[in-house]
Amino acid sequence: MVTNEKAIIALCGRVGKLLLENGAETGRVEGTVEYIGRAAGLAVSCHATMTALFVDADFDTATHLVKVRTKDFDLRKVDAVNTLSRRFVAGRIDWATLESGVADVERQRVDYTWPQKILGAGLVSVAPMLLFQATWGDLALAFGVGIAGYLAAQLTGRHTSTPYIAVGVGGLTIGFLATTLALAGLGASADNIVISALMPLVPGVAITNSLRELIAKHTISGLVRAVDAVMVAGAIGAGVVVGNALAHGLLGGLL
């Protein structure tokens, strides 16, 4: 039904890139690409790391290489690609539908509205870890401070391509606001507000995913994710320290 091997490999590369960019695990990416290839009648083998994706079949000497730069999680795209590939492998849609479906997922970005995302960031910023340790007042403040930090990071991310700047600015905003609130006597503990409000930014999920990759023997991907998580945490930590110092320097005498 499908004649052109090159077209199969190219589409497999696009599928793999979509999955990898938006937060799927390496093993899942390789599996999905190989299933699609096999269902299209070509014995494709795929190797994925966090930075590149190789797709190859035995019909000629060339290997298809796709460069990948991971972005923020967009799990809706992962889910959409997964649904398409499951339907294709089960024979419920044909090659042309799969191809246009993948193009649709690449092009459009279905997302929650900004008010919903802001509410989401606020909810994440009230950390269950601090329940009955921080005061309720501090947790309520963290709700607002966390939203400010998340928005600062998102807005900065849109205007710069330098990595790690966005999370650093998020950390700075949170550190500055939390220290200011504590100095003004509104918050009981700046540290508790900071820790709670950082929840949307902090790379905890990344470090756990890194361990999952390592356990699944995707060693390179695991190490890339781990180092990336440490870099993100470093940027946030430095941001908070600077924000803290700024608040003390600017307002220490006044309040």
- Interface ranges with other proteins (CB under 8 A): 23-25, 28, 72-79, 82-83, 86, 110-112, 116-117, 119-124, 126-129, 131-132, 150, 195, 198-200, 202-205, 207-212, 214-215, 229-230, 233-234, 236-238, 240-241
Q: Is 185 left (phi over 0), alpha (psi -120 to 50) or beta?
A: left
What's the min distance (Å) between Cβ of 250 and other proteins? 20
Q: How far apart are CB 15 and other proteins at their closest, in Å?
A: 13
d(CA 116, CA 54) in angstroms, rounded, equals: 37
Closest approach, Cβ 168 to other proteins, in A, equals 11
Question: Minimum distance from CB of 251 to other proteins (Å)?
Answer: 20
CB-nearer residue toward other proteins: 104 or 111: 111
Least Å distance, CB 45 to other proteins, is 21
Instruction: Give 54 or 73: the residue with its C-beta nearer to other proteins.
Output: 73
Q: CA-to-CA distance for 28 and 48, rounded, in angstroms?
A: 10
Contact 153, 181 (CB under 8 A): no
Among the listed residues 114, 113, 83, the one whose alpha carbon sits nearest the alpha carbon of residue 97: 83
3-class state of residue 197 by DSSP: helix
Cβ proximity to other proteins: between 42 and 81 the closer is 81
We find the least distance from the C-beta atom of residue 238 to other proteins, in angstroms, to be: 5
* Angle (nearest 5°) at CA 116 between 114 and 122: 105
Q: Which residues are 55's β-sheet partners?
A: 46, 64
In angstroms, the CA 145 to CA 173 distance is: 8
Do residues 54 and 47 touch, judged by C-beta distance below 8 A?
yes
9 or 174: CB nearest other proteins: 174
For other proteins, the closer CB: 13 or 175: 175
Residue 64 or 212: which CB sits closer to other proteins? Answer: 212
Torsion angle, alpha carbons of 8, 13, 18, 21, to 10:
170
